[in-house]
Structure 1
């Protein structure tokens, strides 16, 4: 089903998106033809919307923040499993606090195709987009699918049109159709765990209702 800008404005509004974001994004959704080409139609699209809208904080956030206080770094690190990267940041909390470049280097350096901490890749390839691309390998994978060299221009993922195109490509390449009936499985693919699951489940109810037509 092809949906117009007005259709998307209604859908996003029914999903609780703020008016300023609705005005900006309704045209982006309407002019991205792939939004009509999900492999499983609206069953697919509803799960996509629920996860994308939660991940991006209502289409407001297209780049991960690395500006954490020392207290927050300790809190998150101590809540993470022993041996995890987050746990390793706890002794460095004061050094990394409110220093995004250093934080990303410490968090992402030497992982996912990034060179070791200090080489610049951690700061160059943090999370960007609607479903956040992360690490050089993630940007490279997406770039090969979309025909863009995202290792050279990773900032493209922060531009709304590209962010939506990339999110669609990521979704169709990563989320098996067999998972669509199980929001927990979908969430684990998107997020790596179940963080934000309750919010996604609530958004899924709204998205399904909105996609059915006018209230």
Structure 2
């Protein structure tokens, strides 16, 4: 008789606390025989199984009628008390304990779904979309490491769930009523195996100035699924990776002297080819350390009144495509605007606020392009529910340090006190204004009643521009960062100095480093074009 393997799993709730006295059971996949236990004082579930068998681990949190399958493992997996198999519950124990079996008449209910491939494999970190029946889809959500995803909706609402196919389209896989929510996950089985979901990622490797890191045959180490390792080389400043949707990737690039740079993490999200800029903290251009930074004029003579930025300048920098075309614009008057239609509104906004300083303009133009997703939209893609008080009732602060409690406090502080304020006051305009408090400040400054009609910022090109100029100069005070960053407008500055200011401005506008490589690269592109033309004409 084969020697049994001891398997040790540890359960955590969504707050990161280990869970004691939890009802758990294990069984061989497809078998009716079960091993029932409770987790011990350290949250551990310890059991034995024959080697090389597929084992299903299930649990029944408080107030749940049924056991939920949380993990499928091979019994030969290595585990110990110091290195147990980690299993995460989708809610805190407190949230489970507050769960009522009474059907609510108002508020938000939670319905869980578990996504499996055609072979029964749980689809981890896998994208889905959800929506009220017949309405537009939400931004992508992702399953957890058990293939489970939570969909929030109103009680007794007809909802639909769509799941990604290998053709990179979302296909309707569930249509039904949310009722009072469902803790036992509804199974969604795909028509194809996991191996069909191969994604392609093209990574442009940039140095810290935003230029292509074109050193030949630079070593790269890739770790995926936190275990498997692969080594290859950069060719001409770019990498093309082939991995499966949901895989988490850690990339480490080595300098020519063999020293590793900081690792970068990302996840493959779609089947279609994705493009990622990977900026490294290293000064390397075409294989050589830059000896002397190029010197550029800081200030250029003002252009004539009436037109600050010419159409030819705009098209040279941003291209000739139609603007604000994304489906989120949903038939708004500004959807599919041409550059010819947009430029008069842009110039009018800049002139109204006397925003004619050339260097400040370079920074402004670099920031707005990323903030509105490359001029693809004037309205935030997310639904706005994460800014809505209706989704964060007072009970969330029963766990004071939870993310939900912190979010509730922020929502109240920012003035979104009425259910529905989240979607109403989500990001709009070129620099997407968010929260009711910001809309109130802009109304007070401009006299435009965007509080009553926040859609003015995405339905009217001039208001989209004007709000962005105000946000840059007044609300965020980014123009003062530019002025303080250069101090003396008569001096010239190196590219590396310019990019230091770009980094400060980007953090002020965005609150972090999101898209920083692109913002830097575009700033230099704009500055080079200004130098070539001696202005914005």
For the residues of structure 2 that align with 1:67 and 1:17, how far apart are their CA atoms?
29
* 1:156 CA displacement: 1.0
Report what 1:156 is aligned to.
Answer: 456
Q: Secondary structure at the match of 2:318?
A: coil
Task: List alignment gaps of at least 5 residues for structure 2.
Answer: 1-302, 324-338, 385-400, 487-497
Aligned match of 1:37 in 351, 354, 365?
Answer: 354
Please provide the CA RMSD for this pair: 3.2
Report what 2:508 is aligned to.
Answer: 189
* 1:35 CA displacement: 6.9
Aligned match of 1:19 in 314, 321, 327?
Answer: 321
Q: Secondary structure at the match of 1:61?
A: coil
Q: Residue 193 and residue 35 in structure 1: after superposition, are their counterparts in 2 closer, same or farther (change >3 A)?
A: farther
Does residue 171 of structure 2 align to residue 171 of structure 1?
Answer: no
For the residues of structure 2 that align with 1:213 and 1:25, how far apart are their CA atoms?
23
Q: Residue 115 and residue 133 in structure 1: after superposition, are their counterparts in 2 closer, same or farther (change >3 A)?
A: same
* 1:150 CA displacement: 1.4
Q: Residue 3 and residue 58 in structure 1: after superposition, are their counterparts in 2 closer, same or farther (change >3 A)?
A: farther
Task: List alignment gaps of at least 5 residues for structure 1.
Answer: 69-81, 89-105
- 1:1-215 to 2 correspondences below 5 Å: 1-2=303-304, 7-21=309-323, 22-34=339-351, 37-38=354-355, 41-66=357-382, 83-84=402-403, 109-115=411-417, 119-158=419-458, 159-173=460-474, 174-175=477-478, 176=480, 177-179=483-485, 181=498, 182-212=501-531, 214=533
Q: Which has the higher helix share?
A: 1
Q: Which has the higher strand share?
A: 2
C-alpha contact 1:129 1:157 (8 A) present in aligned 2: yes
C-alpha contact 1:34 1:168 (8 A) present in aligned 2: no
Q: Residue 162 and residue 136 in structure 1: after superposition, are their counterparts in 2 closer, same or farther (change >3 A)?
A: same
Q: Which has the larger radius of gyration?
A: 2
TM-score when normalising by structure 2 = 0.31
Relative contact order, higher structure (CA 8 A, sep 6+): 1
C-alpha contact 1:14 1:207 (8 A) present in aligned 2: no
Q: Residue 54 and residue 203 in structure 1: after superposition, are their counterparts in 2 closer, same or farther (change >3 A)?
A: same
